[in-house]
Amino acid sequence: MDLALENKVVFVAGSSRGIGNGIARVFLDEGANVVLTGRDPQALQAAYADLSGGREERVATFPGDLSSPAVIQDAHQQALGRWGGVDVLVCNVGSGTGRGGWQLAASDWEAIFEVNLWSGIRLVEVFLPTMVKAGRGNILFISSIAGLESLGAPLPYSAAKAALTKYGKDLARQVSGAGIRVNTIAPGNVLFSGGSWQRKLDGDPAGVMSMIRREVPLARFGEPEEIGAAAAFLASARASFITGATLVVDGGQTRA
Of the residues 11, 141, 157, 192, which is catalytic?
Answer: 157
Listing DSSP states for the chain in one string gives -----TT-EEEESS-SSHHHHHHHHHHHHTT-EEEEEES-HHHHHHHHHHH-TT-GGGEEEEES-TTSHHHHHHHHHHHHHHHS--SEEEE---------SS---HHHHHHHHIIIIIHHHHHHHHHHHHHHHHT-EEEEEE--GGGTS--S--HHHHHHHHHHHHHHHHHHHHHGGGTEEEEEEEE--B--TTSHHHHHHHH-HHHHHHHHHHH-TT-S-B-HHHHHHHHHHHHSGGGTT--S-EEEESTT----
Q: Is 157 a catalytic residue?
A: yes
Looking at the annotation, which residues are catalytic?
157
